[in-house]
Structure 1
Amino acid sequence: MDRTSELALMDEIADLLARGTTAMAPDVGRVGAADLVGPERTSAEQRLFTDRPLVVAPAAAIPRPGDFVADEIVGIPLLVVRGDDGVARVLLNACRHRGNLVCQEPSGNRRVFSCEYHAWTYDRQGRCRSVVDRVGFAGLGEADTSLVAFPAEERHGLIWTRLAAGADLDVAAWLGPDLDAELAGYAPHARHLYAGETTSFAFNWKFGVNTFQELFHLAFLHRKTLGSAFISNVSAYRSYPLHQRLTVVRSTFPEMAAGPREQRSLFPHCTLVYVLFPNTVFVWQLDHLEVWRFTPTPGDPGSCQVGLWLTTEQEPRTEGARRHWQRNWDLTTATVYGEDFATMANIQRTLASGALPEIVYGRNEIALQDYYRDIGEALRSADGA
């Protein structure tokens, strides 16, 4: 973030604090339960994951040639691997012979990937290097035997894809010039992956994103954990086309803002939360980044897969540094998993029961209102309406 934007954002927050308010929508919003957890809507939302650019992993998850992660998004098995040429590729994790997985480990480093069914073998670029009975498959060329490749791009420390082979991918255009420039400033803190995991949770994928889209709950849900570190229900908000930025205000902000203007600094007195439509949350946390990715479980509107990665500028080299990052990881998972996600599971059960017809979003929950409006418009656009 450039200095002009930083000063403008600090002025905006100071004004909100002075007026005792937060960023507001014009009116209260309402979203029906069927549009939140209904099976028809959930089925339609699958298109959000194949029509648009998505984050698949931090680039730091595969730093060296041969490093890979095997993943799955909306039922599509993926193999994200760095080739000998240093390029990160997103491949369909499916043998071109009969469709069996060519890699069943979640991560690691390999020179080749070999299908256990008939031993077709692939290199780090996804090219088929070995077919046991070449006579039996005479006439097949490289295009027939190489792993299916999805478009891929590394940008801002993240690996992006579109889950449509042959599709165009332009991440800068997808983000827009302002957001693209802003995210570029955080790339140094994505160089090293400290920890990452993917976990299943019993709530709709959208509720995972919603966890980060309002600050009203900080003083209540997190009262005994991190609530005192932040000023609840005060947040600056910016809407980019589809994407969002929320500014979480720390309790140290007012004292800093009272000082000379030339000495003011947004960091470490705020945390920035970016929602990258439709399913990724990118959190700038003082000296590290959190990347959250929420994907629906195919056929189950009440379940999702949550990917979490914590990245830092450099690998911790001392025991003290490792303890520091482990404390960050433990606090994040204990608070978000144990408090936020437990609450989302409660909401999921309530709405799935059919007893509550809709949810109300207040004027102070502007990001949530925009998000559900954007999802609805994206689905209507996909239908040609």
Structure 2
Amino acid sequence: MDRDEELRILDRALAHLHDKRLPLTDADSRVSTDRYQSPDWYRAELDQIFGRLPSMLVHGSELPGPGAFVTMEHFGRPLLVNRDRDGVAHAFLNACRHRGARLEQDPSGVRKHFTCRYHAWRYDTDGSLATIPSAHCFPGVDPAKRGLVALPVVEAYGFVWLMPEAAPGRADLDGFLGSFRHDLADLGLDGFEIYGAESQEWEINWKLVVEGTLEGYHFPFLHTKSANPLFENSTFFFDGFGPHLRSILPKRSINFVERTPREERRLLAVANVIHTIFPNETVLHQSDHFLWITAHPLGPARTLVKLRLIVPRGSVESDGAERWEENRALTYQVQYEDLEIYREIQIGFATGANEEHVLGTQEFALRTFHETVDRHLFGAGPGAQRDGA
């Protein structure tokens, strides 16, 4: 963000510090608990949201050079994400074009080519079919037309994005991000790398994971001994950029920023900045590094949660891993405290205790998020309703 915007945000942070009753909205609101457990709702999300919007597949550092690859499952499709000999990123269906066997078994690595273990059909890193053993047995196969099935990707803002078939290009990605792309570009994530990646499946709805990063109301209670000592209560606020959100979580050090001359004040010295890329990605800026959270839905009540620190490139080798490991341990502890409470909430849905969630004025970003979900599902629908509306 530019300097004027940074100072405006700092002024807003101070306003919330001086008046902790400063509202984010004028009333509380309601969302139905059905949206966290209904199979029909989940299928609509897959079709209307996840099937039609860009997805952040990998950070660029996960493909460090030509031949590097990562495999993953993406909404039931096995993917092979890699760089070709020229360093260009690709995404292919991870399926041999002979009989459909999984082409690459390993989760990551480097290959000069990809060879199917079933009948040894071999493919170059650009997806082209290079070799068919006993090729004379396949007189009707044109190798030029039997390469791996490619999916549209764009590499930008530090990530490789899987694009929808109807909107496959860089202009489509920038249109999706809108003005939020300037914030992402300013993060400079091309100069960073992944550290301490963890993935785990949880019996929770994916939206609970996103919600946990959109309010600070729970910090004094759930994170009493972990994160709460670091952050100032009741000072969270946010801005919307189309479907995306930028949230500010001030630290205790905000109390001393007015002692610093205005021209020397820096937002990241006194706050975390949380970038929520709709629908399910969170990039949390913590001073000189980032936490990247992905909530990948597997079912109405099952989610693959991916946690990754993104640290300055080369800092692990130059400074040692101890610093980052200490940071990772605390950061992930906070996330697992959240995830455990989400698990309890998901169990609570089944009891029927609540037909709706009530969202307070400090949780207004959650309402905004749900209204965005509703717009994608239903068009210009009512979204989450205000109490009494």
Provide the rounded CA distance (Å) in 2 between the counterparts of 1:352 and 1:82.
Answer: 45
**How far did residue 319 of structure 1 move?**
7.9
Distance 1:318 1:132, change over 3 A: closer
SS of equivalent to 2:119: coil
Mean Cα deviation higher: 114-123 or 141-150: 141-150
Unaligned runs of 5+ in 2: 382-389
Q: How does 1:252-271 map to 2 (within 5 A)?
A: 252-271=253-272
Name the amino acid aligned to 1:328.
N
Q: How does 1:62-81 map to 2 (within 5 A)?
A: 62-81=63-82
Provide the rounded CA distance (Å) in 2 between the counterparts of 1:316 and 1:324.
Answer: 10
Name the amino acid aligned to 1:358.
E
Residues 256-297 of structure 1: CA deviation (Å, up to 9, x unaligned): 134321121112211000110011001111111111111111
In structure 2, the partner of 1:303 is 302
Residues 42-81 of structure 1: CA deviation (Å, up to 9, x unaligned): 1111122220111111111111111111111211211110
In structure 2, the partner of 1:378 is 376
SS of equivalent to 1:252: helix
Name the amino acid aligned to 1:192.
E
In structure 2, the partner of 1:46 is 46
Provide the rounded CA distance (Å) in 2 between the counterparts of 1:165 and 1:110.
Answer: 31
SS of equivalent to 1:231: coil
Residue in structure 2 matching 1:176, options 162, 169, 178: 178
Provide the rounded CA distance (Å) in 1 between the counterparts of 2:9 and 2:112.
Answer: 48
TM-score normalised by the chain length of structure 1: 0.93
Provide the rounded CA distance (Å) in 1 between the counterparts of 2:253 and 2:366.
Answer: 26
Mean Cα deviation higher: 75-84 or 258-267: 258-267
In structure 2, the partner of 1:325 is 324
**How far did residue 188 of structure 1 move?**
4.5
**How far did residue 355 of structure 1 move?**
3.5
In structure 2, the partner of 1:354 is 352
Unaligned runs of 5+ in 1: none
TM-score normalised by the chain length of structure 2: 0.92
Residues 232-265 of structure 1: CA deviation (Å, up to 9, x unaligned): 2211210110000110100001201343211211
CA contact (8 A) 1:22 1:236 kept: no
Name the amino acid aligned to 1:176.
G
Over the residues paired in the alignment, what is the CA RMSD in angstroms?
2.0
**How far did residue 142 of structure 1 move?**
4.7
In structure 2, the partner of 1:17 is 17
In structure 2, the partner of 1:341 is 339
Provide the rounded CA distance (Å) in 2 between the counterparts of 1:333 and 1:34.
Answer: 29
Q: How does 1:24-103 map to 2 (within 5 A)?
A: 24-47=24-47, 48-103=49-104
Residues 300-331 of structure 1: CA deviation (Å, up to 9, x unaligned): 31111112221112223558531001111111
Mean Cα deviation higher: 104-113 or 156-165: 156-165
CA contact (8 A) 1:175 1:243 kept: yes
SS of equivalent to 2:217: coil
In structure 1, the partner of 2:217 is 216
Name the amino acid aligned to 1:218.
F
SS of equivalent to 2:65: coil
Name the amino acid aligned to 2:365.
A
Name the amino acid aligned to 1:313.
P
SS of equivalent to 1:278: coil
Mean Cα deviation higher: 25-34 or 230-239: 25-34
Residues 352-378 of structure 1: CA deviation (Å, up to 9, x unaligned): 333421111112111110111111110
Mean Cα deviation higher: 68-77 or 110-119: 110-119
Provide the rounded CA distance (Å) in 2 between the counterparts of 1:166 and 1:242.
Answer: 17
Provide the rounded CA distance (Å) in 2 between the counterparts of 1:113 and 1:322.
Answer: 33
SS of equivalent to 2:366: helix
In structure 1, the partner of 2:315 is 316
Name the amino acid aligned to 1:332.
T
Provide the rounded CA distance (Å) in 1 between the counterparts of 2:53 and 2:204.
Answer: 23
SS of equivalent to 1:365: helix
Q: When the two structures are aligned, how many residues end up with a matched partner? A: 379
